[in-house]
Structure formats: structure tokens, C-alpha cells
Structure 1
Amino acid sequence: MIRRCEEHGCFRGEACPDCDQEGQFILDEEREDRLGRFIAGALRHFPAKLGLSMFEDGWVSINALTNAATRKYKWPKKYHIYALVESDVKGRYEISGGKIRAVYGHSIDVNLDYPLYEGEFAYYGVVPEEVDIILEEGILPVKQRYVHLSTTLEKAIEVGMIHSENPSIFKIDAAAAIDDGLNIMVANEDILLADEIPADYILEIYE
């Protein structure tokens, strides 16, 4: 569930993780899940189906999104959307100037405008059966607009374990790729986005 602490803002769970106060009730778990799924679909996969106009860089009017949510469920208010975004520890969405967009995970064609990565390496976790294909073809988007890379080995392992108990992790020379003109953007502290990663930039494989 989502609650709001007067001092620390919105959070998920029974008590504020910063001060252990119960806070004000905002959404129960069922409505949190329903609204979360609706927003994910609206901002990542099918905005036009919901009558939403999306800018090229993924932004949608938060008023229009609220109206679309209300048409479907009746109960959502704008503050529910703000609370869901503020309390999301994965940083999946951002709000600015009356607009909202998904930070990553798009299957629709968007052109995000995040800053280029300044780190040296990036990491990508896969099931072992995909290793040979990637070494031949490179890392390409699968059902998504961008390739999602990890900023650390630990995060790549965590992501890879969603699909395999023993994922293989590629270490990528991100600095060289960017120097050569590839677009590798910082979505948040854990996730990088790239159009593709040619196999030439794969440095090592951790099994």
C-alpha cells in the first residue's frame, strides 16, 4: 500500500522507512497494483489506445493521464499518480512541468533525451543459451525500444537472475562505444539505455 509521511513524503508499506510513522493512507495494495499497471501500459506500450497524445521524447500530460485513468476506474485522482511515482523505489517514472513519462521499458517508438553515460563499463545479464547468439549478433532490443544495460555487475546479476538461476553477464566497454558514436544514456543510477551494443564492445563474460 501507499502512505504519505508529512516529513518524508510518500512511501510503500505500513510505516515510513525514515521515521517509522504510519502516515496518511493513500492507496491499498489492489488499487496500487491496478493503477501501476494502467500507467505502465499508458506510458510504455499503448498511449494511443487510451486516447493519449505522447511527445516524441515520451512525455504525456498528467491531466490527460488522470482523465484516462478515471475513465477506466472512476476513483483515481491526480494525487494518486503523484504518490505512486514518488513512492516507486525503482524510479520507473518521472514528473516535470505538468507532464509524466516512463523512464525506461518502452515498447513503443520514443526518442529519450537522457545524458550520455560517463562511466567506463556497463553490464548485461542473459540466460547462458543466448551467449553465442549475442557474441555473433551483438546485443539488440528484444520487445523494447532500447537495450537495458546495468551500471554495475551486481545489478546485472540481479536482473539476469529474473530469467536464470545462473545468468551469464557481459562486461561492455561503454566508454569506447560512446567514443565511437554509440548512444548510451543514463536512465537512473542502475539502468542505462542503448539502441544496440555491437559484439565488438563486449570485453568479458562472467559465467
Structure 2
Amino acid sequence: MIRKCKEHGYFRGESCPDCGEEGRYVLDDDREERLGRFVSGALRHFPEDVGIEMDSLGWVGLGQLCDVMKKRYKWGTMERLISLVESDLKGRYEIEDNFIRARYGHSVDVDLISDYPENDLPYLYYGVSQEETDMLLDNGIFPIRQCYVHLSTSFEKSKEAASVHTDNPVIIEVDANAAQQDGVDIVTVNADIVLARGIPPEYLSVVELEE
């Protein structure tokens, strides 16, 4: 559920995490999920299919997206669209100057490398299944269904992300400092995720945990 606190803005849950106030109702769980799926599809995978124009950096007009959304969901309003973005703990979307875009997760080809700041962390992490480990160490990490490789900024975040797909993930460490010095572009999109077109194998190693 999405609600709005007068002092702290939109939040998800029953009470504001900053002050505990109940806030004003904006969107229930079912509509939040339906709207989230629509926005994800429109901004990441099939903008043309829903009738919106996306520029090379992934931006679409906020008003244009809202108009298309209203045709599909009569209850869809600009406030509810904005609340979905501003309350998202994963930071999946951003709004700027009446434009909106997804920060990551694209299957349509957009240029995010030139529009986000360069990563400044020396090491990054990528969680994989036991079966995938040797193949990635030999061949590198490259996108399959998406345009970019999504790396995590911490060991914990990579394990959390990989645990969605495998019960006992192996965490690969990426020597981002060396890779970037050698010309591999890696950019930061939010506090948890960085993107790259690919990471060659020479910058990869398995994190060895102490027994």
C-alpha cells in the first residue's frame, strides 16, 4: 500500500517510517502491483507497444505516460504515478523536468552509460548459481535478456539479488578499479546497483568465505 505523510511524502506500508503517522491513502496493494507492472513494461521493455516515445537515454514524457496509463486504468492519476516512483525503495525510476525513466532493467537498447556518473567503488559483486560460476569466470559477465549487466555495490546486496533465483549463490567479486582503468565503462544508477555493458573474465574472482 502507498500512503502519503504530510511531512515526509509518499511511503509504502501502514505508517510513515520516519514519524509513524498513518498518512493519507493513495494506492492499495493490488493497484500498486498492476500499475508497477505497466510502468516497468512501458519504460523498460515495450514503449512503442503502449504508444509512448522514448529518447536514446530512456526518457519519456511524464504526461504522455500518464495519458496512456489513464486509458488502461481509469483510476490511474498523475499523483499515483508519482507516488509509485517516489515510494519505491529499490529506486527503479526517476523523474526529472516532467520526464520519467527506468534507471535499470531495460531490454530495449538505451544509452545509460553516458548519462550516469562513473562508479567510484573499487570492487563490485555479482551473485550466480553454482552451475554458472565456472562459465562466467572463463567467459566474463555479459547481458542475456537485458542491455546491461547489473552489478551490486555490496556482497550482501548481490547475495540478496541472487537468492531470488538460486538457493545457494556464489558471489563473484569484480575488480572494478582495474576494469575501469582498462577502459571498461561502469556507471552508478543508485546506491545498490551499477551497470556495465559487460565485464571480461580477467576482472573476476570468487569471494572465498572463511569457514
**TM-score category, normalised to shorter length:** over 0.9
Give 1:164 deviation, angstroms.
Answer: 1.3
Quote the Cα distance in structure 2 between the aligned partners of 1:144 and 1:70. Answer: 28
Among 126, 129, 132, which residue is 2:131 paired with? 129
2:92 maps to what in 1? Answer: 92
- 8 Å CA contact 2:62–2:98 kept in 1: the answer is yes
1:168·1:206 contact (CA, 8 Å) conserved in 2?
no
Instruction: Give 1:147's aligned residue.
Output: 149
- Aligned counterpart, 1:77: 77
Deviation of the 1:161 alpha carbon:
1.0
How many correspondences in the alignment? 207
| One-letter identity of the residue aligned with 1:110 | V
Where 2:132 maps in the other structure, the secondary structure is helix
Residue of structure 2 in register with 1:44 after alignment: 44
TM-score between both structures, scaled by the size of structure 1: 0.97
Do structure 1's residue 27 and structure 2's residue 27 form an aligned pair?
A: yes
Which of 160, 179, 193 aligns to 2:162? It is 160
Question: What is the percent sequence identity of the aligned residues?
Answer: 51
Structure 2 residue identity aligned to 1:151 = T
The structural deviation recorded for 1:157 is 1.0
Structure 1: give runs of 5+ residues left out of the alignment: none
TM-fit CA distance, 1:2: 0.6
Q: Deviations over 1:155-190 (max 9, x none)?
A: 111111111111011111101111111110001111
Alignment RMSD (CA, Å): 1.0
In structure 2, list runs of 5 or more residues that go unmatched: none
CA distance in 2 between counterparts of 1:206 and 1:49 reads: 45
Deviation per residue, 1:123-177 (Å, 9 max, x gap)? 1000010011112211010211100001111111111111111101111110111
Whole-angstrom CA distance in 2 between matches of 1:160 and 1:35: 25
The alignment's TM-score, normalised by the length of structure 2, stands at 0.96
Instruction: After TM superposition, give the deviation of residue 205 of structure 1 in Å.
Output: 3.8
Please name the residue that 2:186 is paired with: 184
Partners of 1:9 and 1:189 in 2: CA distance: 20
1:5 and 2:5 aligned: yes
Q: CA contact under 8 A between 2:140 and 2:199: conserved in structure 1?
A: yes
Distance in 1 separating the partners of 2:53 and 2:169 = 39
Distance, in Å, in 2 between the alignment partners of 1:206 and 1:126 is: 14
1:171 maps to which residue? Answer: 173
Compute the displacement of 1:119 (Å).
Answer: 1.1
| One-letter amino acid of the structure 2 residue matched with residue 96 of structure 1 | E
Residue in structure 2 matched with residue 138 of structure 1 by the alignment: 140
How far, CA to CA, are the matches of 2:16 and 2:137 in structure 1? Answer: 46
The answer for the alignment partner of 2:60 in structure 1 is: 60
**SS of corresponding position for 2:131:** helix
